[in-house]
Amino acid sequence: MNTTIVAQLQRQFQDYIISLYQQGFLDNQFSELRKLQDEGTPDFVSEVVSLFFDDCAKLINNMSKSLERPENVDFKQVDSGVHQLKGSSSSVGARMVKNVCISFKECCDVQNREGCLRCLQQVDYEYKMLKTKLQDLFKLEQQILQAGGTIPQVDIN
């Protein structure tokens, strides 16, 4: 009984994580992160991810403040924010966020405020999206662990 639930949950987990990869929310770096998680650091992934989301919230807040006024936008500041965001998102493997960051950076380079605002909104949307998805994932993980199962290794490659 228990094992079937675990197996079901595991399959569900696998499907879910694969769908995340396939939909392009995550990339290889995320699996790298997952590989780093072991007994020594059991909550490494969720820790890093929550760090990332905090970082995201902070950066997006900063950037939206910078972009608030229509004139005298400090693009340098925005640019550094985007740069950081890009670095951290690529490290976490948040592919969507990273991709938006790339176009965001282009907008920043040409000092296109409209584009920047659009990208900012997109980034905001993407990271929140990812956040809910990952929260679901972690919830699943918790369920599996509670059911006494192990987290299956999902190799996306």
Partner 1 sequence: MQRDSFSVSIENLPDSPMGSNKKMNKVFDKMTQWVTPWRSNSESPRERMILRGDVEQDEFQYASSHCLSSYYSVFVVRLAIMVMLAILIGLLTILTWHFTRIYTKQSLQTLAYGLRYELLQRPILRMWSVLNTTSELTTAQVKLSEYVIRKYDKPTTQEELVEMYQAMKDVTWTLFASAKALNAITINYRNGFVQAFHRDTTTSSTFYIFSDLKNYSISGTGPKDVNGWNNQTIHGNMSAIWYQQQLDPVTGAMLGKPRRIPPDDLISIAGISQVPDGEASWHVTVSKYMDSPLLSAALPVFDASNKSIVAVVGVTTALYSVGQLMRDLVEVHGGHIYLTSQEGYLLATSTNGPLLRNTSKGPKLMKATDSEEWAIKTGAQWLQKTYGNNLPHVVHAENARLGDQQYYIDSFYLNLKRLPIIGVVIIPRKFIMGKVDERAFKTLVILISASVCIFFIGCVCILILTNGVSKEMKLRAELIRQLDARRRAEASSNYKSQFLANMSHELRTPMAAVIGLLDILISDDCLSNEQYATVTQIRKCSTALLRLLNNILDLSKVESGKLVLEEAEFDLGRELEGLVDMFSVQCINHNVETVLDLSDDMPALVRGDSARLVQIFANLISNSIKFTTTGHIILRGWCENMNPLHDEMSLNVDRKKPLAPMKTKLVQHRNHFQKSCKNANKMVLWFEVDDTGCGIDPSKWDSVFESFEQADPSTTRTHGGTGLGLCIVRNLVNKMGGEIKVVQKNGLGTLMRLYLILSIPDTVEQNLQPDFSKYGLVVLLSMYGSTARRITSKWLRKHGIATVEASDWNELTQIIRDLLETGSRDNSFDSQHNIADSLRAELSTIQEIENPVFVIMVDIGVLDLTTDIWKEQLNYLDRFSGKAKFAWLLKHDTSNTVKTELRRKGHVMMVNKPLYKAKMIQILEAVIKNRKRGLCNGIRNRGNGSDESHDCLEIDPTHYDTCSSDDSSETSGEKEGDKPVKSSTLLSPVLKNYLIDTTNRNDDSTSASMTRKNTEEEDWKDRNNRLYSGIALDGKNPKSLEGIRILLAEDTPVLQRVATIMLEKMGATVTAVGDGQQAVDLLNFRSINAQDSTQEQKSSEEETNVNPQSSSRYSSPYDLILMDCQMPKMDGYEATKAIRRAEIGTGLHVPIVALTAHAMSSDEAKCLEVGMDAYLTKPIDRKLMVSTILSLTKPSTLVTSYSA
Determine if 15 is a binding residue for partner 1 (CB under 8 A). no
Determine if 28 is a binding residue for partner 1 (CB under 8 A). yes
- Judged by CB under 8 A, the stretch of 17-25, 37-45, 128-136, 137-145 that binds partner 1 is 37-45
Asked whether 120 and 77 are in contact (CB, 8 A), the reply is: no
Centroid of chain to Cα 60: 14
Cα separation, 65 vs 144, in Å, equals 41
Determine if 154 is a binding residue for partner 1 (CB under 8 A). no
Determine if 14 is a binding residue for partner 1 (CB under 8 A). no
Rg of the chain's alpha carbons, rounded to an integer? Answer: 18
Closest CA to 105 of 126, 124, 85: 85
- Judged by CB under 8 A, the stretch of 8-16, 38-46, 65-73, 121-129 that binds partner 1 is 38-46
Q: Helix count (H) and strand count (E) of the chain?
A: 6, 0
Give the binding site for partner 1 (CB under 8 A). 28-29, 32-33, 36, 38, 41, 44, 47-48, 51-52, 54-55, 80, 83-84, 86-88, 90-93, 157
